[in-house]
């Protein structure tokens, strides 16, 4: 699972790919549509889409002469859960620190 997450995070570490995902969030898009805002070639866009596909973040299908891409939210949810565990961990740490500081202020002698 951690290896899958590595792929996911690597795929997400690029701003172009994040923009592509954001665009896919509102629905299916052709490769051409995904390439257009980034002033890149079809081949350039296809490379990014392959990275996203390997990471399990999107899937592609043929529709006539076009290739359409669709978002797969499941793997993103996995990565999000993992990050959120850490967020909870640090939030808990800061909760305890806050409690100690408040306690100390009630009785200034330590």
Partner 1 sequence: MTGPVVLTVTRDFAASPERVFDAWLDPAVARHFLFATPDGEMLTCEIDARVGGRGLIVERRTSGDAHHHLQFEVIERPSRLVFLFRADPAEEGQWTRVSIEIESRGDGARLTLTHDMDPQWAAYEDQTRKGWTMILGSLARTFGENS
Q: Which positions touch partner 1 (CB under 8 A)?
A: 6, 9-10, 12-14, 18, 21-22, 25-26, 71, 73, 76-77, 79-80, 83-84, 86-87, 90-91, 93-94, 96-102, 105
Report yes or no: 28 and 72 within 8 Å, Cβ to Cβ: no
Report the alpha-carbon distance of residue 2 to residue 68 in Å, rounded. Answer: 29
For residues 35 and 79, which CB has a smaller minimum distance to partner 1 in the complex? 79
Give least dist CB 65 to partner 1, A. Answer: 27
For residues 19 and 46, which CB has a smaller minimum distance to partner 1 in the complex? 19
Report yes or no: 60 and 53 within 8 Å, Cβ to Cβ: yes
Report the alpha-carbon distance of residue 61 to residue 45 in Å, rounded. Answer: 15
For residues 45 and 51, which CB has a smaller minimum distance to partner 1 in the complex? 51
């Amino acid at each position: 699972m951690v290896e899958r997450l590595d792929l996911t995070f690597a795929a997400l570490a690029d701003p172009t790919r994040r923009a592509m995902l954001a665009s896919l969030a509102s629905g299916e898009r052709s490769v051409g549509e995904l390439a257009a805002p980034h002033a890149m070639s079809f081949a350039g866009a296809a490379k990014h889409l392959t990275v996203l596909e390997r990471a399990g973040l999107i899937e592609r299908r043929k529709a006539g002469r076009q290739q359409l891409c669709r978002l797969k939210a499941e793997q993103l949810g996995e990565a999000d859960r993992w990050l959120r565990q850490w967020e909870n961990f640090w939030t808990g740490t800061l909760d305890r620190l806050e409690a100690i500081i408040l306690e100390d202020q009630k009785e200034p002698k330590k």
